[in-house]
Amino acid sequence: MSHSFSCRLRTGRRQHPLRRRASAFTLVEMLVAMVVTLILIGALSQAFAIVGEGVAQGRAAIELSGSMRGVANQLQEDLDGVTVPVRPWTDEAAGLGYFEILEGVGHDSNPLPYLPTSLPVGKRSVPDMYGDMDDVLAFTARAQQDLFVGVQAVQVSTSPVVWNYVTQQSPVAEIVYFTRFEDVDLDSVPGRGELTLHRRVLLVRPDLGTLLSGITSANALATLMEYQSRSDVSARLRRNSSGTSYDIVANSLADLTRRESRFGHWPNAFPFPLRRALLLPKGAAWSAATHTAGEPGWLNSDDDLNGTPDDLAELGWFGSDDRVDYTTLGVGIGEDVVLTDLLAFDVQVFDPQTRVKTFNDEALAPGDPGWWNTSATVIGLGAFVNLNYGNYIHPTTNNVVWNDANTAWVNAYGSLFSGRPAARSVPMLWTLGAVYCTWSTHYERNGVNEDVSGTDTSPDEGTDGFDTDNQNGVDDAGERETSPPYPVPLRGIQVRIRSVEPDTRQVRQVTVVADFVPE
């Protein structure tokens, strides 16, 4: 019996083995694990942030580069289609159109020489990334691929004023590239989105005839400005048959050889300057008594912030492509904007006579730092330059430096485009701006004495078939009453466009070169 009991005991032990005691994390272990987990999450977050920032910067760079490339390609295509040989004295009868450059007073070393001096010191300094930004490029071009497309504004009612818009096409257009400054934050310094590049395309459609009629003399200019802000048809003012009012009529290429027919020109008096609007204090009105028509500056589109362009300063650059009913909607931003956050739009001409110098083993052209250094030596000829580059506003003192009045400088460094425009095209020049224009023979045969120097009292003697001055043969250049600002052919131009992506502060620049040498 004892044996049997012993076996049951052993069997019971097998059926009920000793159990292990369960264990748990201590508080210290939990805290260590949490710290390690947070470190890992922080590292992953930082890695994702770096990757996200890189993706954002890469995307911004791609978008900015794409925008810049698109503008450059469009400008190159437009310049390839220029309709006129780029040399002065275009015959109106040939119907070739025009080519014109306005060199503003700003330049790379001093982009805004006419900023108000009353600004705080911090606002007077212009960031280094800004460059020459106040140039204008205008010309007629023939479409290289598809036709130019735009709208014609048609006034269907005058009380109330109602406009309809009709889509039109043309193989030829008047194209104007210009910058516009809209001072949103009222600090008189270009900020985010305040400086934009515009491309106006105005269809050359002379078959459209009279576009608007019966305009009183007092309202003629303002009405033309408003019409040009609404319509994509190249148009001009013409006194109607009654002689008491004006019509707005569509231009032909022949009409556009004359300066007074072109977009943005002051049509009241010879030489019909390409007009930049004034940069005025807020609320200040334009006055002929204090400002010259065509005085350089920027358009501040709504100076008094009342939503209506109610003085010539606000309308001054003839508006952009706003498609706006000024009486009800106020000023629009423009449908012709091709680039925002602009830093520079610099149009330069090729000057085969300008000196290329070297200083500290660097080749330098006018506009490059060091070119003015007296220790720099001349190593060659030919470079792209700003019109009137020999005369400039000193970047520190803002004093005018007239180098073309210095005979020694002219003899040593003067070239085709270093000096001021020809005297017989005055007042083509305001302060230090300058103009290149293909001009028109019309001014030499229109029966009007347009010698602005006041020394010539005989109109059209340069085309009368006589050697009036007994020098250099019949109808030589000395007998002409007018002159192109620079009476020389233009071999080519270079346009530099610079922009910034405001969120990532990335800057990109493109350069477009056009060759005008006949093949």
Query: 254 phi and psi, to 5 degrees?
Result: -65, -45
Separation between Cα atoms, residue 299 and residue 315, nearest integer Å = 8
- Token digits of residue 408: 């020694």
Q: Which amino acid is at 239?
A: R
Mean pLDDT of 302-312: 43
Looking at per-residue pLDDT, the higher value among 299 and 447 belongs to 447
Closest CA to 445 of 458, 434, 461: 461
When pLDDT is cut at 50, 70 and 90, the band that residue 154 belongs to is very high
How far is C-alpha 258 from the geometric centre of its chain's CA atoms? 23
Average pLDDT, rounded, for the chain: 77
**What tens digit of pLDDT does each residue of 107-128 get?**
776 676 544 444 444 444 445 6
**What tens digit of pLDDT does each residue of 24-33 get?**
778 888 888 8
Mean pLDDT of 75-88: 96
Mean pLDDT of 401-411: 85
pLDDT at 206 over 90: yes
pTM: 0.81
What pLDDT is recorded for position 454? 64
Closest CA to 194 of 298, 109, 307: 298
Q: Which of helix, strand or coil describes residue 219?
A: helix
End-to-end CA distance of the chain: 131
Mean pLDDT of 362-388: 89
Mean pLDDT of 233-244: 88
**What tens digit of pLDDT does each residue of 455-505 get?**
665 666 656 556 666 666 666 666 778 889 999 999 999 999 999 888 777
Give the number of other Cβ atoms within 10 Å of residue 339's Cβ.
21
Separation between Cα atoms, residue 53 and residue 80, nearest integer Å = 40
Query: 59 phi and psi, to 5 degrees?
Result: -65, -40
Contact call for residues 201 and 150 (beta carbons, < 8 A): yes
Q: Which of helix, strand or coil describes residue 247?
A: strand
Mean pLDDT of 295-305: 40
What pLDDT is recorded for position 230? 83
